[in-house]
Structure formats: C-alpha cells, structure tokens
C-alpha cells in the first residue's frame, strides 16, 4: 500500500504497551497493514468508534525521531 498523507486513529487494547515509534499492524480496508505509532491519546474523540490495533510487531524509531520526522514532513 502506498504511504498515506494523514494520520489514522486506532484503539490501543487495554494492557498493551504502545509508545510513539512502536511498529504495529492495523486493519485497513479488509487487510492488515503495517504502520507506526506517532502519538498516543487517552481518549477517542467524542462520538468516534475506533478499531483496535491488531498487533504490536516491534520497536521502531524513538519518540524524538518520530517527532523530528513529523516536523520535517510539514
């Protein structure tokens, strides 16, 4: 799948240790795609039902590097 030009929101299942930079698999259009976590929030936006992350697959870049990449992409 080509890169997306926006951030997608997913639910982190309770008890999972997910931080910015974590590599994950997410359900997207009837497939499981790779992605990385760029931020974590405690609450979903009001009225929005989020789909859960399917799997944490490993560690990726540090939170600082994720922040730098977001800044550079802007």
Query: From the first residue on, what is the mean pLDDT of each consecutive set of 10 residues in the chain (74 residues)?
Result: 79 91 94 91 82 94 89 84
CB of 31 within 8 A of CB of 54?
Answer: no
Q: What is this structure's pTM?
A: 0.79
57: region left, alpha or beta (phi > 0 left; psi from -120 to 50 alpha): alpha
State residue 19's pLDDT score: 92
User: Between β-strands 31-36 and 55-59, what pairing exists: parallel, antiparallel or unpaired?
Assistant: unpaired
**CA 33 – CA 15 distance, rounded (Å):** 22
């Amino acid at each position: 799948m080509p890169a997306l030009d926006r951030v997608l929101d997913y639910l982190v299942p309770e008890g999972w240790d997910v931080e910015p930079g974590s590599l994950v698999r997410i359900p997207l259009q009837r497939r499981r795609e790779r992605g990385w976590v760029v931020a974590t929030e405690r609450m979903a936006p009001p009225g929005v039902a989020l789909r859960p992350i399917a799997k944490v697959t490993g560690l990726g870049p540090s939170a600082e590097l994720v922040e730098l990449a977001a800044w550079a992409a802007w």
